[in-house]
Structure 1
Amino acid sequence: MSDHRFNPLLLLRAVLRPIDPVLMLVLMMLLGYAFVLMASASPDRLDSQLVNTTVALLAMWVAAWLPSQRLLSFALPLYALGVVLLVAVELFGEVSKGAQRWLHVGVTRIQPSELMKIAMPLMLAWYFQQREAKIGLREFIVAGLLLVVPVGLILIQPDLGTSLLVTAAGFYVIFFAGLSWKLIVPVGLVGIIGIGSIVAFGDTLCQPDVDWFGLREYQKQRVCTLLDPTRDPLGKGFHIIQSTIAIGSGGVVGKGWMDGTQTHLAFLPERHTDFIFAVLAEEFGLVGTLVLLVTYLALLARSFQIATQAPTLATKLLGGAMAMIFFTYAFVNMGMVSGILPVVGVPLPFISYGGTALVTLCLGVGILMGIRRGRPAS
């Protein structure tokens, strides 16, 4: 007779089957770091962050189980749904703090722009796979239009931070698909000239009566504040000034866990969300910062390894884009907290408090695990 007794070991193996050990180890290190910092920055939010983390890990596990081609089959419906919801936000969305980003659906409200962080690279990876035999200028133009539509809808909400992340997610797929440097270099040169002009003529351009085409007044002020935070040290420049003080005061080994003065005397704003990197630098110093950077590098290295070994063009593009999304989150957050980039509301990946960004990022990890599972056995 067969033995039908419950075997917990077999159940555990089944649960862990889609999990990539290296990615999971790195993710656990980052989440551990997050709880240590949260216990200092905002201990009353630990319970809710635990719930957020549980939901995010569950989402990661589900994504890891999905075969890559099955996941790609959702690309077009998810993209279309995201665009429809973004249009609905513009027509019927709720306004909060001067921005119209939320859509009320029954018992809760959602932020459709977050969906596009995953739907955009999925859509473009699927699109290039359909045209794998001949990828030329026409395909890149169509891909650019697919990217511009949702980004434009997000910009008018306005939400500069999310539009930046969605743009990056889409651009990485287009770049990895073979976008010519002849098209990239001119755009880069225009950007360099524009940034150089702002730096050179900042005093004139930042005058109250000067309008910046395409940017709202508060977005203009963010750039002007970056150029000179002391213009308004108790107002618009307060965030950057206090965060740079916190980072600099940490020194090599930091002031010690829960001993950060900028953090615990409430000088540091948004210390549990966008500016949690400043908490890390103040309490753990250069050593703690380097540990975090090495952990992020390990995440990127494993992600790119999975992407380069992926079996199809679409999974290579998708895996590479996911790796670069992790990089973009980290680079932009550390840059804005350190005062070298404007403040655009991008969280530190896997560390900052919040559920939406954490779920999105863990979905990205799950997608990479799913890509690895679809790799032919060597």
Structure 2
Amino acid sequence: MMQRTLTRDRGMGFGEKLASVSWPFIVLLCLLAGTGYAMLYSAAGGSPEPWAFRHGLRFGFGVLLMLSIALVDIRLILKLAWPLYLLGIGLLVLVALHGAVGKGAQRWLDLGPIQVQPSELMKIFLVIALASWFHRASIERVGNPLFLIPPLIAVAVPVVMVLRQPNLGNALITCMLAGVMLFVAGVRLWKFALVGGAVAVAAPIAYESLHDYQKNRILTFLNPESDPLGTGYHIIQSKIALGSGGMFGQGFVQGTQSQLNFLPEKQTDFIFTMLAEEFGFAGAAALLGLNLLVVLNGLAMAFSCRHQFGRLVAVGITTNFFLYVFVNIAMVMGAIPVGGVPLPLVSHGGSAMITVMIGFGVLMSVHVHRDVEIEGEQQA
């Protein structure tokens, strides 16, 4: 079996690697991006400008970027794990020093035609770095608390930097993503329970350190009707739009809340709400089904990979996508406080689009190179 692995790896040329790409997975991504194009077209009142046309261009570029990364040997990505992590930290430092400010937060680097949000890229780099740390570790070694100190520091540094931007939503997603990575790597549940207890004790202190707008989001989540024309406006209008869609919706470009501009941020954070208003429960369920298929395909790539590094990376990238979807939809339904988390491949936003496609490129590299031998690992 090992000889088959080595022969297959040495003989893989450009054409064979391209044939090994999961094309059904790419079709799913195209369907998601196509849904986003349609909803951004509707958000503009039936026009490809200013959002839908750019969305399509970005996705086309993202597919080319994803395929390019897919052809990169996963072992090279392993060697670059910590340099990429340091690059991410460097970008976060640049944001703190020279980042563009928008809506009271300093989260973006202005690169002329596009703005890049390094906290998004940092999650991909963190997944690769954590996978490189754990991929050769035995269960006994993972059980040693001292062995967990470096990866915990590696998680804490970007989380603190993202909190200072401030970007509470992204920091929490990064923590949840790291938690899944540690669990899959073999960290015992009782250690998560200890961390959870410490977080519960520290929560009141952390609340006092939040910015006023962050506190208002939490208070609005608990009682949005307390300020229906102020902090509660977004979620109240979102719930109205969700309810008005019924089973099959009001029709394409016919949603009252969105087309009459009652629904705020309809092209970004609340695009799922607009879709539910125009296509109803059936359309919302179809979109959720598409996202579920993407997640299941990602997990299937993880399970089919014969090396631990690839499995950990695939689970991390897939979890990152799942958290995007879960947080966005829970947010617009009022299940969690409102935060600036887009719906991947559907919402308008170049930084989020390109970051997701970079992540899927790494995931595809895992799939293409799923049978390669990684030094020091036991093949599954």
Task: Output the TM-score relative to the length of structure 2.
Answer: 0.86
Match of 2:130 among 109, 113, 124: 124
**Equivalence for 1:307:** 302
1:72 aligns with 2:67: no
**Equivalence for 1:24:** 26
Q: Deviations over 1:233-253 (max 9, x none)?
A: 111111000011000110111
Cα distance, 1:34 vs. partner?
A: 1.1
Counterpart amino acid of residue 62 in structure 1: S
Cα distance, 1:288 vs. partner?
A: 0.6
**Equivalence for 2:191:** 183
CA 223–106 in structure 1, closer or farther in 2 if over 3 Å, else same: closer
Unaligned runs of 5+ in 2: 1-13, 373-379
Cα distance, 1:189 vs. partner?
A: 5.4
Q: Deviations over 1:266-304 (max 9, x none)?
A: 000010111000011101111011111111111111111
- Written as runs of structure 1 = structure 2, the 5 A alignment for 1:283-322 is 283-322=278-317
CA 194–145 in structure 1, closer or farther in 2 if over 3 Å, else same: closer
1:167 aligns with 2:175: yes
Match of 2:277 among 282, 286, 308: 282
CA 171–53 in structure 1, closer or farther in 2 if over 3 Å, else same: same
Q: Deviations over 1:333-352 (max 9, x none)?
A: 00110011111110112111
Distance 1:21 1:312 in 2: 22
Mean Cα displacement is larger for which, 93-102 or 77-86? 93-102
CA 361–184 in structure 1, closer or farther in 2 if over 3 Å, else same: same
CA 292–342 in structure 1, closer or farther in 2 if over 3 Å, else same: same
CA 117–187 in structure 1, closer or farther in 2 if over 3 Å, else same: same
Distance 2:173 2:227 in 1: 28
Q: Deviations over 1:117-152 (max 9, x none)?
A: 211101111111254583232222221111000110
CA 253–193 in structure 1, closer or farther in 2 if over 3 Å, else same: farther
Distance 1:107 1:225 in 2: 35
Instruction: Specify the SS of the correspondent of 1:212.
Output: helix
Q: Deviations over 1:29-87 (max 9, x none)?
A: 21121112111112322221122112211221112111211112221111111112222
Distance 1:259 1:122 in 2: 44
**Equivalence for 1:3:** none
CA 93–25 in structure 1, closer or farther in 2 if over 3 Å, else same: closer
CA 311–15 in structure 1, closer or farther in 2 if over 3 Å, else same: closer
Check conservation: 2:220, 2:232, Cα contact below 8 A: yes
**Equivalence for 1:154:** 162
Counterpart amino acid of residue 79 in structure 2: S
1:142 aligns with 2:150: yes
Q: Count how many residue pairs are aligned between Structure 1 and Structure 2.
A: 355
- Written as runs of structure 1 = structure 2, the 5 A alignment for 1:250-261 is 250-261=245-256
Distance 1:250 1:98 in 2: 33
Distance 1:130 1:211 in 2: 36
Match of 1:220 among 215, 224, 245: 215
Instruction: Specify the SS of the correspondent of 2:165.
Output: coil
Quote the RMSD (CA, aligned, Å): 2.6
Check conservation: 2:307, 2:371, Cα contact below 8 A: no
CA 147–64 in structure 1, closer or farther in 2 if over 3 Å, else same: same
Task: Output the TM-score relative to the length of structure 1.
Answer: 0.87
Distance 2:266 2:110 in 1: 28
Q: Percent identity?
A: 38
Distance 1:191 1:334 in 2: 25
1:37 aligns with 2:39: yes
Distance 1:372 1:211 in 2: 41
Check conservation: 1:18, 1:369, Cα contact below 8 A: no
Distance 2:207 2:182 in 1: 29
Mean Cα displacement is larger for which, 245-254 or 311-320? 311-320
Distance 1:340 1:275 in 2: 14
CA 314–14 in structure 1, closer or farther in 2 if over 3 Å, else same: closer
**Equivalence for 1:5:** none
1:269 aligns with 2:269: no
Instruction: Specify the SS of the correspondent of 1:142.
Output: helix
